[in-house]
Amino acid sequence: MQNTTRAVFMRGGTSKALIFHAGDLPPDRDALFLAAMGSPDPSMRQLNGMGGGVSSLSKVCIVGPPSRPDADVDYTFAQIGIDRPEVDYAGNCGNMSSAIGPFAVDEGLVPPPPDGEAVVRIHNTNTARIIVARFPVRAGRAVVEGELAIDGVAGTGAPIRLDFTDPGGAKTGRLLPTGNSADLLEIPGHPPVRASLVDAANPCVFAAAADLGLRGDELPAALDANPALLATLEALRQAAAVRMGLAPSLEAAARTTSIPKVGLLSSPQDSPLLSGRTLPAGEMDILARMISVGQPHRAIPLTGALCLAVACRIPGSVAHALARPSDPAALLRIAHPSGTILVAAQVHPDLTVPHATVFRTARRLFQGEVLWPSPPIG
């Protein structure tokens, strides 16, 4: 026999996830999440569930009543392991954050405003931060159709503005957890790597691609085909996790794979895209390739883009040195394997970040019940 739990399957930005009402979940919710996504799957395909075999398609969101007075809903994100029975609550997913406001309106968790703009204050419990979502509403429902195109997603949709308020120190309490704009990290079998450890929206470690023997414009398949490089980047991630205070040891860091994200950066250069087109150097301010949950990302994690935009505004950081100089109030054009993303982020001299802003689209794909096996008896 199988159990049933109501769920909504949504795309948010360049990710997809099952979204559950908090009150519908069983005591052992992790078992439900793993079964629903088809994990663990040694073949990395998740054919026995809703997952898509890559980190951006193996996600769960939980939405419920707010636990603080300045929010309309609580939102908890879970990254589901693909080949391991892992449910990781360490960080947030910025892309899926774009789906939470429309979900809350469409599910009646917040009263729909008159036709016009909805404003939903989302408390992300992973980071204890407020995300303010603004999006159009018509006839009491979130509008789906629109003219905004985002690289990595076919077609267009209604714009969703996300303001990540006070994103600095989301997990560690400090924008620069070590107090430095750059640090040297010791990696076994590799010379020390100069890296910037930044905590904004989600913790990230940024290093120059050239310092890892890369051009910086490699596509995900090329990175994925280099297991020695991926092992070095995982060692870099673990060393950064310990240095940032996210884990007490390398062994503990190995068990929490979702943070920090790893960013490989280079100065603007003509760069191939997954579509086959070449993105000219003049259309970007910095070039990034990011690793998320051990896999090269086909676009860029939204929280990674937000953190990178903040890092570009910190003098002395790896990102600041590689980015095209620009007005601190200007939008930053971050290039990734699917195109570019525009992010607004300002950093005050005292290293406070009032908010970081980005625009996304989202779409409800399926609504109904997800089926998951009962645990074996005995």
**In sequence order, what are the residues at sequence separation of 6 or more whose Cβ sits closer than 8 angstroms to the Cβ of residue 175?**
168, 169, 198, 199, 200, 310, 314, 347, 351, 352, 353
Q: Is 10 exposed, middle or buried (0-12, 13-18, 19+ CB in 10 A)?
A: buried
**In sequence order, what are the residues at sequence separation of 6 or more whose Cβ sits closer than 8 angstroms to the Cβ of residue 303?**
91, 92, 93, 94, 201, 202, 204, 261
CA triple 140-93-241, angle to 5 deg: 160
CA nearest neighbour of 120 among 138, 143, 97: 97
* pLDDT given for residue 241 in this prediction: 97
CA nearest neighbour of 293 among 2, 26, 59, 8: 59
Distance CA 63, CA 353 (A): 26
Distance CA 359, CA 157 (A): 11
Sign of CA dihedral 140, 146, 148, 154: positive
Q: By the 8 A CB rule, do 337 and 298 touch?
A: yes
Listed in sequence order, the DSSP H helices in 2-117 are: 29-37, 94-106
Q: By the 8 A CB rule, do 198 and 307 touch?
A: yes
Q: By the 8 A CB rule, do 286 and 269 touch?
A: no
Distance CA 271, CA 269 (A): 6
* pLDDT given for residue 328 in this prediction: 83
Structure tokens at 224: 């994925």
Structure tokens at 1: 């026999």
* pLDDT given for residue 125 in this prediction: 97
Distance CA 40, CA 318 (A): 36
DSSP-based three-state secondary structure for 16: strand
Domains and CATH numbers, the chain: 2-166+362-373 (3.10.310.10), 183-349 (3.10.310.10)
* pLDDT given for residue 377 in this prediction: 46
Structure tokens at 249: 């040891």
Distance CA 9, CA 17 (A): 6
Pairing status of strand 271-272 against strand 202-208: unpaired
Distance CA 51, CA 370 (A): 12
Residue at 200: amino acid letter:
A
Q: pLDDT 10s per residue in the chain (378 long)? A: 899 999 999 999 999 999 999 999 999 999 999 999 999 999 999 999 999 999 999 999 999 999 999 999 999 999 999 999 999 999 999 999 999 999 999 999 999 888 999 999 999 999 999 999 999 999 999 999 999 999 999 999 999 999 999 999 999 999 999 999 999 999 988 899 999 999 999 999 999 999 999 999 999 999 999 999 999 999 999 999 999 999 999 999 999 888 999 999 999 999 999 999 999 999 999 999 999 989 999 999 999 999 999 999 999 999 999 999 988 888 999 999 999 999 999 899 999 999 899 999 999 999 999 999 876 543
Q: Is 277 exposed, middle or buried (0-12, 13-18, 19+ CB in 10 A)?
A: exposed
DSSP-based three-state secondary structure for 373: strand
Q: By the 8 A CB rule, do 229 and 184 touch?
A: no
Q: Is 157 exposed, middle or buried (0-12, 13-18, 19+ CB in 10 A)?
A: buried
Q: Taking the CB of residue 305, how many other CB atoms lie within 10 A of it?
A: 30
The dihedrals phi and psi of 118, each to the nearest 5 degrees, come to: -90, 145
Q: By the 8 A CB rule, do 129 and 164 touch?
A: yes
CA 324 to chain centre: 24
CA triple 339-75-26, angle to 5 deg: 120
Q: By the 8 A CB rule, do 303 and 162 touch?
A: no
Distance CA 314, CA 344 (A): 14
